[in-house]
Every structure is written in structure tokens, then in C-alpha cells.
């Protein structure tokens, strides 16, 4: 065993740049065949938001490319004529959220004007079909002083719902902007709060709420005058913050009623998941009406039936539990009677889309390591898988056809077309094809084993990109976050197993108890037991993988995780550190006691720990990584970001302090401009470079052994 000082010196050699140093995140695009790497990852075109034209002939979708020099993504809108074998045509250079007009001859989209997001329209009409190559110049149709947050067109195309972030006591949009301008000029910088949230996700509260407005197009297709606020009197965000979208509001088929969901904030917002579905006349002639007041859990994503008689929506049953199963509910709008459509389907679907005849609902859901698209019969509740293997992202339905994006562990998203029953699935775009052809990736294989309580648990292994039979390889053991999430057959731009496979690592991951897609009881089982059943699954899964796959070198393995995966990394640092040569922890929970008071969404902490910390301190201490620092010994890279308000960076700083004070080889990579995720291209490259260097340093065949403590 080498002396500790030697290990520390070696750790310093690979230390990240300190203040004043320059980190080289530039690169020259690799030519020819090579193993997949982060520089391939950040430059890929990201395809999403597929929208099928009303006649089913044209596909509109968004593509985010990377301007690496400017360190940002650039959004564009493409249209593909599905009746031909041609290539997609870029119809909007800079814009997103494209939606078809009611007649299918124009696209609306959002793009900035002098730094303010506005609604635009591009007319594509031509003889015998749309004119994609020689379309009209896009026209700005909204002229508000505030950023447009989201929109939805009415079925007849004559009205539009708009979301703006406003001060709710302001009568006009201009009032909100004037107040913001006045604050910016004030030399006093303090903000006085009298309730939570004071900050959420990555943003400090300033008193504004997302509110829902409606307006009509005039004879020239413009949105003139002040829009009418439909959510007046609602102390909440429509859509919800931070990730709400247009799926949370919409018109009735006749355009006379609007439905939306919202959580009334009051003083309990941080510990409440009580969203409700509301209706309001589209002309604003009456106040919004709560349609789901009796359910104190989460009701959301309303969709009206084509005949306007039934409102479908998703509902949870357990108050305060954000990972409860979403059931599909049907509300008879005449009688007020409600019933669950799919009580026998043990999956939790996402937002709903309804067929033109009202007989079929479409939704995606996690399912045994995949994320398929399902059709749910509205009469019987029977769910049928339409598009299975891989991950279905966005999708749309029109004229008996399905348009969707799909990806998997070896392929980023592209657009696919299928019949409404999922048959005749065909890939219709091939973005990134040339680059993918030159990159070697690792093959993936799912496996199962007997985990906690002898119950079946699933995981997968990814071979290194340079895999050769008979050889052994170091291992990256990735622990997913959530904790109610899963490592599934999908492409990721953050924790992508192929970035490790391309560096010569095999990857092992386990969907431990608490993961989604294996039934709600399996998901529920982690609450109150963060360091129990999941740890046993990880141990048994690691053993099962080593027994099954001879190419895994169990003596050269590092464990990595983010969020809950970061919590588990800190936890195993004290209670299961024997197998690991190094650890990587991204935005993890180090001290569960302090986490309760530092985080923003208290409902999560209270559900997972059986109540508040001051009422049940023993629950917060039961699996607290901080209490096992005395047993830490494995070299660790800690990564945390200053704008992460979900798990504040004091958690990472505390862990790094513990490591340094104990003399354990360690590094801290801190991002002042990122949130719970690392999103900027240069930061992503720096993140991957630091992680890969750490893994290689400690899994090398001549790597130093950390001294015992």
C-alpha cells in the first residue's frame, strides 16, 4: 500500500483548474472512426416536439443545435413532407414550439424580438400542397412587453391562450414591466419575503406568477390590444413552475370553455401537491371553478372529449406524494360524476392525447426499462402498447396517423411515423446519421436478479466501445436519481452511458426498489427506506452482474450518482465502500437533517421521511450519510452547482470539507452558473473531462491505493 501522501500528490496532478487558470474545453471535431465521447454528445442535433398537420401529410418538429463558440443551443423549426421521400426543410431559423394552424397551411411559433419572446406565424400555403422551400416571410403576431411563456390555439384557430409571468395585482402587462424596470433602478437590492417559496429550482421569487390569458386574432391575423386574464383571483402558476407546459391548459372543442390545472399557493405551497383542475368561460365572464376540490392530491393535464361531454385528466390519490401513480380519470361535465378509467393498469402515464372519435387515449409511461407509447380504451380502460422498445418522447395524432420521436441507448431521438394503432412504424428523419456512423458505441443488455425480499429487480450492462471477447474492463457503476426514476433504454444528454463506454469503461446500473416502471408498490417501497432496500438491491445487482458478465473487472470499479444517486454515493462511502476504487458525487444529499431546511420542495422531504424533521428527527438520522464520515476511505470527486436550490451546494461543500479534513484524496468541481443539471455546452465538456480523468486515475492498473483511515 502506497503512503497517503503519494495518493494525495497524484490527486493534485489531475486537480481541476483553480481561479485564474484556463480550462480547455475547446475541441476539433473528430474525423473518421472513433469511440463516442462528450464532444460528439454536445454537438448532436436534438430532435423533439413533433407536430402532425391536420391532414396528416406534414411533420413539423424542433431541432436544437449547438453553437459551441457562443456556448448555447439554437432552436429551429423543420417541416417534412411525409408524402415524399425528401429531406426536412428548415422553415424557421430561430424559434420553437411550432403548432399548426387550424387549416394546416401555417405554423405558429415562439421567437424573440429585441429580447422578448413573441408569437409568430409563417405561412406555408401553396398550390397542391405546402410550399416549404419558398414559403412566406414569418410575421410577428403578438406584441406584448413581457416574454410569452406558452400558448395554445383554439380548435377553430380564432383564439389563443397565452401564459405570462405577471404581478397578479397588475391590471395590464405593461404594469408588470414598469414595476420590474423600477426595481432594476432601485439602488437597494434587498427583497423582503413573508412566505415560502423564496426560491425554487434555480430562481429566486420576485412575486410574479404564471397567469393564463386569452385573446383573439383580428382580421389581419394579429393579436391586438390587452389580453384577458382567465386565471384572475388564482394564487398559483399556470402553467406550474418550474417545468409546467401547455399540457396543463386547453380549450373545450367549441372554444367556449377553458380548462387548466393549478396548485393554489397560499402559505402551504412548499409542502403541498394539491393541484386541482379548473374550468373558466373563454370570454372571462365568470371566475374559474374548481372541478376536483374533493381530491387533496394532484389533479392535472385536462383534455376534453370531442363531444365536449367528458373531461379526462390525471389524478394521484396520496396528498404530498409527487411520485404517486397518476390514474386516468373521467369527469361527466353534466352530472359531475367521476370514475377512474384504468384502475387495473399499474403504470403512471404522462400527459394525455385523445383520438378524434373520443374512444382512445394516448400516453407514454415507464415500463420495465422502456418508455413506450400506450393506447388506453376509454370504455374499458385496457392499455395496449403501441410503440415499445426504447423511449418515446413527444407525439401527436392526426388523420389516423401518429407522429413521434423515439430514441434508445445507442441512438438519439429522430422522428417516426406510424398508423394510429402503432403499426407500420417508420423512421422519417435521420439527424446525426453521418456522425453516428463514425462513432463506436457499446452494446447494451438488460438483466434481472433476485433483489430485496427475493423480488425481481432489473438492471443493464453496457459494454465498452472497444470491447473484445476475453478481455476485462474497468466499470462505471451508475446509480440513478429521483429516487423515483429509472435508468431506461433511452438517450440522455447528461448521464449517457455511452460517454463512459467510449472511454473504455463497462457500465452497470440497477433499477433498485423505488424505481419507476415496475408497478406502484415497487416505486412506493423506497419511501422511508432510502438506505435500506435500494442498497441491498445495489449490492445484489453488483454481484449478479459480476457473476454473469466475465468482462467486468470488479477490482477496478467506481460508483457514480447524482441527486438521490449522489445521496446513495455518500451513503455507500460509509457503509459499502469495499468494492470501489473511487466515487463521483453530483449534487447529492450529504446531510439529510440540514437538507430538510435547505431545500425548497418540502413535500418531498416530508413524504420520504414520514413528516417534518422537527417532529420525526429519528427518521432523518436513520440513513444520514454525515453520521458515517468516520468510515469514509474511498477517493471522491464532488460536483455541485451554485444555482441548485433543490439540493443546495452547501451539501457538496460539506462533503468536500469532510473528505479534506479526513485526508481522503478528493476534488471539488463547482459550477457557479448551473442548476441541478449541467446544461451549458462548455460546462458539460468540463464535467465529463473531470469525471473521466477521475475514473481513469483510480481504475488504472497501476493506480495508487487510498490509505486506510
- Distance, in Å, from the CA atom of 588 to the CA atom of 168, rounded to the nearest integer, reads 36
Q: Out of 513, 586, 640, 676, which one is annotated catalytic? A: 676
Residue 644 annotated as catalytic: yes
- Distance, in Å, from the CA atom of 191 to the CA atom of 206, rounded to the nearest integer, reads 8
Give the three-state DSSP class for 586: strand
The 3-state secondary structure of 249-286, one letter per residue: EEECCCCCEEEEEEECCCCCHHHCCCEEEEEEECCCCC
Phi, psi angles (nearest 5°) of residue 643: -95, 15
Q: 93 exposed, middle or buried (CB, 10 Å; 0-12, 13-18, 19+)? A: exposed
Contact indicator for 260, 240 with CB cutoff of 8 Å = no
| DSSP string computed for 101-147 | -TTSSEEEEEEEETTEEEEEEEE---TTS--STTPPPPEE----SS-
Residue 97 annotated as catalytic: no
623's CB contacts (< 8 A; 6+ apart) are 529, 530, 531, 532, 571, 592
Rg, the chain, Cα only: 26
| DSSP string computed for 197-234 | -SEETTEE--SEEEEEEEEE--TTS---SPPEESSTT-
Does residue 233 come out as left (phi exceeding 0), alpha (psi in the -120 to 50 range) or beta? left
Tell me how far CA of residue 4 lies from CA of 9, 348, 557, 662, 709, in angstroms.
9, 50, 20, 11, 10
Q: Looking up cell 495518493, which residue turns up?
A: 7
- Compute the CA torsion angle 184, 186, 187, 190 (nearest 10 deg): -90
- Distance, in Å, from the CA atom of 80 to the CA atom of 67, rounded to the nearest integer, reads 24
Q: Out of 537, 591, 644, 649, which one is annotated catalytic? A: 644
Q: Looking up cell 411515423, which residue turns up?
A: 417
Residue 367 annotated as catalytic: no
Q: Which of 453, 462, 451, 522 is nearest to 486 (CA)?
A: 522
Contact indicator for 142, 164 with CB cutoff of 8 Å = no
Contact indicator for 20, 365 with CB cutoff of 8 Å = no
Give the three-state DSSP class for 421: coil
Q: Give just the sign of the alpha carbon dihedral 559, 562, 565, 570.
A: positive
Instruction: Report the 10 Å Cβ neighbour count for 344.
Output: 9
Contact indicator for 45, 61 with CB cutoff of 8 Å = no
Give the three-state DSSP class for 157: coil
Q: Out of 563, 641, 666, 684, which one is annotated catalytic? A: 563
Contact indicator for 541, 458 with CB cutoff of 8 Å = no
- Longest CA–CA separation in the chain, Å: 81
Q: Which of 386, 334, 380 is nearest to 363 (CA)?
A: 386
Instruction: Report the 10 Å Cβ neighbour count for 12.
Output: 10
Q: Write the DSSP symbol of residue 614.
A: T
Tell me how far CA of residue 476 lies from CA of 384, 402, 458, 542, 582, in angstroms.
36, 38, 17, 11, 10
Contact indicator for 223, 143 with CB cutoff of 8 Å = yes
- Distance, in Å, from the CA atom of 559 to the CA atom of 542, rounded to the nearest integer, reads 11
The 3-state secondary structure of 508-521, one letter per residue: EEEECCCCCCCCHH
Residues belonging to the active site:
563, 644, 676
Amino acid at each position: 500500500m502506497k503512503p497517503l501522501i503519494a495518493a494525495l500528490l497524484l490527486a493534485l496532478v489531475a486537480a481541476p483548474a483553480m481561479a485564474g487558470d484556463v480550462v480547455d474545453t475547446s475541441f476539433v471535431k473528430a474525423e473518421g472512426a472513433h469511440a463516442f465521447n462528450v464532444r460528439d454528445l454536445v454537438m448532436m442535433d436534438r430532435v423533439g416536439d413533433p407536430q402532425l398537420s391536420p391532414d396528416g401529410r406534414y411533420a413539423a418538429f424542433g431541432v436544437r443545435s449547438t453553437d459551441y463558440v457562443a456556448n448555447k443551443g439554437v432552436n429551429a423549426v423543420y417541416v417534412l413532407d411525409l408524402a415524399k421521400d425528401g429531406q426536412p426543410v428548415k422553415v424557421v431559423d430561430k424559434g420553437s414550439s411550432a403548432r399548426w394552424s387550424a387549416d394546416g397551411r401555417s405554423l405558429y411559433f415562439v421567437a424573440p424580438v429585441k429580447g422578448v419572446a413573441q408569437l409568430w406565424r409563417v405561412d406555408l400555403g401553396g398550390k397542391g400542397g405546402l410550399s416549404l422551400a419558398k414559403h412566406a416571410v414569418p410575421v410577428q403576431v403578438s406584441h406584448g412587453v413581457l416574454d410569452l411563456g406558452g400558448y395554445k390555439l383554439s380548435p377553430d384557430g380564432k383564439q389563443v391562450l397565452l401564459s405570462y409571468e405577471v404581478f397578479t395585482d397588475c391590471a395590464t402587462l405593461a404594469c408588470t414591466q414598469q414595476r420590474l424596470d423600477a426595481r432594476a433602478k432601485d439602488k437597494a437590492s434587498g427583497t423582503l419575503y413573508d412566505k415560502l417559496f423564496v426560491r425554487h429550482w434555480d430562481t429566486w421569487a420576485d412575486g410574479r406568477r404564471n397567469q393564463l390569458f386569452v385573446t383573439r386574432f383580428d382580421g389581419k391575423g394579429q393579436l391586438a390590444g390587452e389580453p384577458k386574464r382567465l386565471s384572475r383571483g388564482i394564487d398559483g402558476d399556470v402553467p406550474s413552475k418550474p417545468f409546467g407546459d401547455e399540457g396543463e391548459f386547453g380549450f373545450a372543442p367549441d372554444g367556449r370553455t377553458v380548462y387548466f390545472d393549478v396548485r393554489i399557493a397560499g402559505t402551504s405551497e412548499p409542502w403541498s401537491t394539491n393541484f386541482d383542475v379548473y374550468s373558466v368561460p373563454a370570454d372571462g365572464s365568470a371566475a374559474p371553478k374548481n372541478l376536483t376540490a374533493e381530491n387533496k392530491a394532484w389533479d392535472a393535464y385536462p383534455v376534453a372529449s370531442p363531444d365536449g361531454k367528458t373531461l379526462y385528466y390525471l389524478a394521484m390519490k396520496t396528498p404530498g406524494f409527487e411520485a404517486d401513480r397518476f390514474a386516468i380519470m373521467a369527469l361527466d361535465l353534466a352530472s359531475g360524476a367521476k370514475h377512474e378509467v384504468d384502475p387495473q393498469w399499474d403504470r403512471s402515464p404522462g400527459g394525455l392525447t385523445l383520438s378524434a372519435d373520443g374512444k382512445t387515449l394516448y400516453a407514454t409511461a415507464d415500463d420495465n426499462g422502456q418508455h413506450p407509447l400506450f393506447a388506453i380504451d376509454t370504455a374499458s380502460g385496457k392499455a395496449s402498447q403501441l410503440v415499445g422498445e426504447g423511449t418515446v418522447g413527444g407525439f401527436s395524432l392526426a388523420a389516423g396517423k401518429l407522429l413521434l420521436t423515439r430514441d434508445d441507448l445507442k441512438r438519439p431521438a429522430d422522428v417516426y411515423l406510424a398508423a394510429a394503432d402503432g403499426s407500420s412504424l417508420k423512421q422519417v428523419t435521420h439527424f446525426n446519421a453521418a456522425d453516428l456512423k463514425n462513432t463506436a458505441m457499446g452494446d447494451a443488455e438488460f438483466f434481472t436478479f433476485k433483489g430485496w425480499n427475493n423480488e425481481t429487480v432489473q438492471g443493464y450492462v453496457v459494454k465498452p466501445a472497444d470491447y473484445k471477447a476475453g478481455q476485462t474492463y474497468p466499470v462505471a457503476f451508475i446509480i440513478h436519481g429521483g429516487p423515483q426514476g429509472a435508468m431506461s433504454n433511452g438517450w440522455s444528454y447528461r448521464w449517457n452511458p455511452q460517454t463512459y463506454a467510449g472511454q473504455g469503461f463497462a457500465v452497470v446500473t440497477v433499477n433498485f426498489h423505488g424505481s419507476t416502471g415496475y408497478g406502484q408498490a415497487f416505486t412506493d417501497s423506497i419511501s422511508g427506506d432510502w438506505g435500506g432496500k435500494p442498497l441491498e438491491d445495489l449490492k445484489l445487482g453488483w454481484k449478479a452482474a459480476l457473476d454473469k458478465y466475465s468482462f467486468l473487472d470488479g477490482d477496478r470499479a467506481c460508483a457514480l450518482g447524482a441527486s438521490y444517486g449522489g445521496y446513495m454515493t455518500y451513503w455507500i462511502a460509509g457503509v459499502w465502500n469495499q468494492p470501489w476504487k473511487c466515487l463521483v458525487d453530483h449534487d447529492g444529499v450529504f446531510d439529510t437533517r440540514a437538507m430538510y431546511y435547505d431545500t425548497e420542495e418540502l413535500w418531498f422531504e416530508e413524504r420520504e421521511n414520514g413528516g417534518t424533521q422537527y417532529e420525526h428527527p429519528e427518521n432523518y438520522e436513520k440513513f444520514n450519510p454525515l453520521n458515517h464520515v468516520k468510515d469514509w476511505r474511498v477517493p471522491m470527486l464532488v460536483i455541485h452547482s451554485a444555482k441548485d436550490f433543490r439540493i443546495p451546494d452547501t451539501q457538496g461543500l460539506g462533503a468536500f470539507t469532510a473528505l479534506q479534513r479526513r485526508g481522503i484524496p478528493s476534488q471539488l468541481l463547482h459550477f457557479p452558473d448551473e442548476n441541478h443539471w449541467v446544461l451549458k455546452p462548455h460546462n458539460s465538456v468540463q464535467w465529463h473531462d473531470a469525471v473521466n480523468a477521475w475514473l481513469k486515475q483510480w481504475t488504472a492498473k497501476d493506480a495508487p491505493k487510498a490509505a486506510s483511515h
